[in-house]
Amino acid sequence: MLVSQIIRNKAHQGVVTLLPGTTLAEAAQLLSEKRIGAVVVSTDGSKVAGILSERDIVREIGKRGTSALQDKVEDVMTRNVFGCNPEDNADLVLQTMTQKRFRHLPVMEDGKMIALISIGDVVAARLAELELEKDALTGMIMGY
Ligand code: AMP
């Protein structure tokens, strides 16, 4: 399965982004409202400046208390962002996420972000694929 197949159903949703100068309090509010675990930081919605995950917010609050909520996203975000391409294999993407211990990957095309996939998206797509394979094999064995 390719990344392009996974994002096909998400493409119309667009990608939620935040400006670098936003506070962590505003970022937490956005994550909560949108029911997502990470947001890409971008000034134009397509170039990736960084990524901010709920873990980054929790880490800062854990270190310095709730005053950290007034910090700017750009001071806390991860700047070295790993991405993937639409033609990448989903198994490889899952491997990267597992090895590098993060759950989100921007999907890049011609230097622009076209989607963000989460580990949940990849696992759900793989499970659906496995279910289809199981049905096909059952059909072959049972002769229907
Ligand atoms: P996550 O598991 O995605 O919630 O993120 C765990 C940590 O990895 C956080 O510090 C994120 O900022 C960072 N992170 C998340 N996604 C990426 C990515 N695609 N590339 C680099 N770092 C990331």
| pLDDT computed for residue 96 by the predictor | 94
- Cα separation, 28 vs 37, whole angstroms: 9
Q: Find the CATH number of the domain harbouring 108.
A: 3.10.580.10
Query: Which of these, 134, 102, 115, 143, lies nearest to 4 by C-alpha position?
Result: 115
Return the ligand 1 atom nearest residue 106 CA: 19
Could you read off the pLDDT of 43-57 as tens digits, one per residue? Answer: 998 899 999 999 999
Is residue 38 in contact with ligand 1, taking CB distance under 6 Å? yes
Cα 81 to averaged position of ligand 1 atoms, centre (Å) = 8
**pLDDT score, position 9:** 72
Closest residue by CA, ligand 1 atom 4: 53
Distance 74 CA to ligand 1 centre (A): 14
Ligand 1 center from residue 142 Cα (angstroms): 45
Count of domains in the chain?
1
Distance CA 31, CA 69 (A): 14
pTM for this prediction: 0.89
Binding site membership of 39 for ligand 1 (Cβ less than 6 Å): no
Q: What is the largest CA-CA distance in the chain?
A: 65
Residue 83 three-state SS: coil
Would you write out the chain's pLDDT as a tens digit for each of its 144 residues? 899 999 987 766 789 999 999 999 999 999 999 999 999 999 998 899 999 999 999 999 999 999 999 999 999 999 999 999 999 999 999 999 999 999 999 999 999 999 999 999 999 988 988 998 888 888 889 887
Question: How much distance in Å is there from the Cα of 56 to the middle of ligand 1?
Answer: 8
pLDDT for 47 equals: 93
- Burial of 109 (C-beta count, 10 Å sphere; 0-12/13-18/19+): middle
Ligand 1 proximity of 4 Cβ (cutoff 6 Å): no
Domain that holds residue 64: 3-142
